[in-house]
């Protein structure tokens, strides 16, 4: 057990911060797996790097061969990997939401999106707000990780997570409705075509009959019967 005193204060504080960071990164990554139903190997490897650094740290602590400076160095490696996992997980969720909206809009030129996604404007605003925060964090490395941690617990990010969780259902509904519209259009086209063909085929007989009452038509259409 590490007792907090003047010598170990920095290490214990960093361990507390890391504990929160790792828990947040893990929770967001679970959302990624649930949404995409796949393992993202880039993020997965960051957790592996993190585990490796922690294993080395714990091993040296157990053997009593670890100074505070060495412990902080190894903890920093674990933190770096956990930060990357969190950043990549949030970027992946937001990117997945954007690409899915584009794909859904492409099914029917976006005309029906608002019908199937009543909160579409709210989702757009949430994506826009988080994308802005992410962009601003690129130029501020000191507060970047705190920005991502705040994003992960924000109402906007939760809205995006909820939307992403419902994407398969929404896409299916859009495709089903679009298929129905296509079938209706095809049916209308065929019905109209057959109607026009019927009129064309009946036209000579009709004009021939009409020539009885309009003699001037007789030279062209003759007697109808």
Residue where a domain terminates, one of 165, 183, 210: 165
pLDDT at residue 17 tops 90: no
Nearest of 120, 121, 134 to residue 92 by alpha carbon: 134
Residue where a domain terminates, one of 138, 165, 192: 165
| Mean pLDDT (whole number) for 172-180 | 70
Q: Is the pLDDT higher at 51 or at 70?
A: 51
Q: Is the domain of 94 the same as that of 193?
A: no
Nearest of 28, 164, 162, 40 to residue 83 by alpha carbon: 28
pLDDT at residue 113 tops 70: yes
Q: Is the domain of 124 the same as that of 79?
A: yes
Would you say residue 212 lies in a domain? yes
Would you say residue 18 lies in a domain? yes
- What's the number of domains the chain is made of? 2
pLDDT at residue 166 tops 80: yes
Could you tell me the pTM of the whole model?
0.71
The encoded tokens of residue 168 equal 């398969």
The overall average pLDDT reported for the chain is: 78
φ, ψ dihedrals at 83, nearest 5°? -65, -45
| Mean pLDDT (whole number) for 51-59 | 87
Q: Is the domain of 28 the same as that of 43?
A: yes
Residue where a domain terminates, one of 129, 150, 165: 165
For residue 31, the tally of other CB atoms under 10 A from its CB is 20
Residue 110 sits in which domain range? 9-165
Q: How far apart are the first and last CA of the chain?
A: 112
């Amino acid at each position: 057990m590490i007792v907090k005193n003047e010598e170990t204060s920095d290490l214990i504080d960093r361990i507390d911060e890391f504990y929160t960071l790792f828990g947040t990164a893990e929770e967001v990554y679970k959302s990624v797996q649930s949404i995409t139903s796949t393992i993202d190997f880039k993020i997965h490897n960051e957790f592996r790097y993190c585990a490796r650094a922690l294993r080395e740290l714990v091993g040296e602590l157990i053997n009593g061969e670890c100074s505070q400076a060495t412990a902080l160095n190894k903890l920093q490696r674990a933190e770096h990997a956990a930060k990357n996992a969190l950043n990549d997980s949030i970027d992946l969720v937001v990117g997945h939401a954007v690409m899915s909206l584009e794909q859904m809009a492409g099914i029917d030129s976006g005309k029906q999106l608002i019908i199937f996604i009543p909160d579409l404007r709210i989702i757009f605003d949430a994506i826009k707000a988080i994308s802005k925060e992410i962009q601003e964090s690129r130029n501020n490395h000191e507060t970047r990780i705190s920005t991502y941690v705040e994003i992960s617990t924000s109402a906007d990010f939760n809205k995006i997570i909820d939307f992403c969780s419902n994407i398969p259902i929404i896409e299916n509904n859009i495709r089903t409705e679009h298929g129905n519209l296509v079938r209706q259009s095809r049916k209308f086209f065929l019905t109209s075509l057959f109607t026009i063909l019927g009129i064309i085929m009946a036209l000579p007989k009709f004009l021939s009959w009409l020539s009885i009452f309009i003699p001037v038509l007789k030279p062209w259409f003759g007697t109808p019967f």
